[in-house]
């Protein structure tokens, strides 16, 4: 066989092999949004207290090849979004006032209108609440999963071009991460390496949570949560505070990513977000004023019989300097008794004020 003929045979064989070989398929990596994961096995066997949540993406930086996809799986405890902002945009607030649709028709148990009737309602714009954009990310235009609740369905995006794509959660300030997209020829972490890194991030969060969970406020102070970085405690510190009749309790918050309320008496509503169907397009979403607004403006002392049935709400407190909400409120308790209160945003987050 001549050299030329031999080379031709090799070339033909190589072409045939290439044609016969299956084409490389795009892969998908999974990122967990929020946490902790539903099963301890998904976090390296770590066990998380029931009152603990995580406002983070795990792992925080996921690396893929150009043409691959990322799928976000949502923790089913707290609402999140996966949001890629348009180029040059800064993080917007999740909600916005809507003067065209003021709150109306909200009365207490005695039929007395609450003070916030006539105030601009607080709505969640549809571009924040519902999925936006196509099935792939380009790094220039807006992409959004929409609010994960109530379905908590996974969200998936393809990344055709190399680059670093930053994203965030519109619900929780400071909750952000990135997708790093490399050329197809580059080496990227394996699924095993990703899992190891994710579990390391879980372990750090759990260590921080244990430290933060030891908070013991002095005096007549009650702190809603004690958070830092990705840690989010759905607990009041302390769970029970005892005071004398006529004294006040200072309720405050430390979290930079969460908001809380302190609500006494019967639950005024089961709907944190009110859904209003529209003739065309998606429904309109607004926050219930019975949850986010103070029950009185200004707040009155708590007697145990406010508004006829004991309902009393501090409204939202947070640490966001751009928010109109306070970071702390003081409530005076006039009558002896044991008063259960809760955060109406986070079911199960409860505390007690004992007045002697």
Give residue-wise pLDDT tens across range 45-103.
888 888 999 999 999 999 999 999 999 999 888 899 999 999 999 999 999 999 999 99
Smallest CA-to-CA distance from 68 within 177, 158, 156 is with 158
Over the stretch 199-253, which tens digit does the pLDDT of each residue have? 999 999 999 999 999 999 999 999 999 998 899 999 999 999 999 999 999 999 9
Pairing of strands 28-33, 337-342: unpaired
Which CATH class, in words, describes the domain spanning 23-98+127-210? mainly beta
Q: For tokens 């990705």, what's the residue?
A: 230
At 38, the pLDDT band (50, 70, 90 cuts) reads low
Give the DSSP H or E segment for 3: helix 3-20
Stretch 18-28: mean pLDDT, rounded? 55
pTM of the model: 0.89
Peptide bond into 23 cis (omega under 30): no
Pairing of strands 61-65, 52-54: unpaired
Give the DSSP H or E segment for 16: helix 3-20
Q: Hey, what are 297's tokens?
A: 């403006």
At 15, the pLDDT band (50, 70, 90 cuts) reads very low
Separation between Cα atoms, residue 241 and residue 252, nearest integer Å:
14
Helices (H), 117-259: 126-129, 191-212
Stretch 171-198: mean pLDDT, rounded? 96
What percent of the chain has a predicted confidence (pLDDT) above 90? 82
Could you tell me the strand order of the sheet in which 155-158 lies? Answer: 57-58, 28-33, 69-74, 155-158
Phi, psi values for residue 195, rounded to 5°: -65, -40
- Is residue 126 exposed (0-12), middle (13-18) or buried (19+ Cβ within 10 Å)? middle
pLDDT at 40: 64
| Fold assignment, 216-355 | Immunoglobulin-like (2.60.40)
* 46, 87 contact by CB (below 8 A): no
Distances (CA, A) of 193 to 2, 25, 62, 173, 303: 50, 21, 11, 28, 57
What are the extents of the domains in the chain?
A: 23-98+127-210, 216-355
The radius of gyration computed from the CA coordinates of the chain, to the nearest angstrom, equals 26
């Amino acid at each position: 066989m001549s050299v030329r003929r031999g080379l031709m045979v090799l070339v033909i064989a190589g072409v045939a092999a290439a044609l016969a070989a299956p084409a490389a398929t795009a892969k998908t990596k999974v990122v967990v949004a929020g946490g902790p994961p539903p099963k301890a096995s998904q976090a390296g066997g770590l066990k998380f207290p029931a009152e603990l949540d995580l406002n983070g993406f795990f792992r925080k930086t996921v690396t893929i090849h150009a043409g691959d996809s990322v799928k976000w799986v949502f923790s089913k405890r707290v609402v999140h979004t996966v949001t890629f902002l348009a180029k040059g945009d800064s993080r917007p607030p999740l909600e916005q006032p809507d003067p065209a649709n003021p709150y109306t028709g909200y009365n207490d148990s005695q039929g007395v209108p609450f003070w916030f009737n006539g105030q601009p309602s607080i709505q969640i714009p549809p571009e924040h609440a519902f999925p936006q954009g196509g099935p792939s990310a380009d790094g220039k235009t807006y992409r959004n999963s929409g609010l994960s609740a109530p379905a908590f369905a996974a969200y998936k995006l393809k990344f055709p071009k190399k680059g670093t794509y930053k994203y965030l959660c519109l619900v929780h300030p400071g909750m952000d991460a990135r997708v790093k997209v490399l050329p197809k020829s580059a080496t990227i972490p394996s699924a095993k390496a990703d899992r190891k890194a994710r579990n390391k991030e879980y372990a750090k969060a759990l260590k921080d949570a244990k430290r933060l969970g030891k908070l013991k406020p002095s005096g007549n102070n009650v702190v809603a949560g004690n958070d830092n970085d990705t840690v989010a405690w759905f607990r009041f510190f302390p769970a029970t505070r005892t005071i004398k009749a006529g004294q006040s309790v200072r309720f405050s918050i430390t979290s930079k990513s969460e908001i809380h309320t302190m609500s006494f008496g019967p639950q005024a509503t089961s709907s944190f977000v009110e859904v209003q169907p529209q003739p065309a397009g998606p429904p309109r979403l607004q926050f219930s004023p019975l949850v986010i607004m103070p029950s009185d403006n200004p707040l009155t002392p708590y007697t145990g019989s406010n508004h006829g049935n004991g309902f009393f709400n501090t409204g939202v407190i947070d640490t966001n300097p751009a928010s109109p909400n306070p970071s702390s409120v003081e409530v005076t308790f006039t009558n002896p008794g044991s008063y259960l209160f809760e955060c109406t945003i986070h079911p199960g987050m409860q505390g007690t004020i004992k007045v002697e």
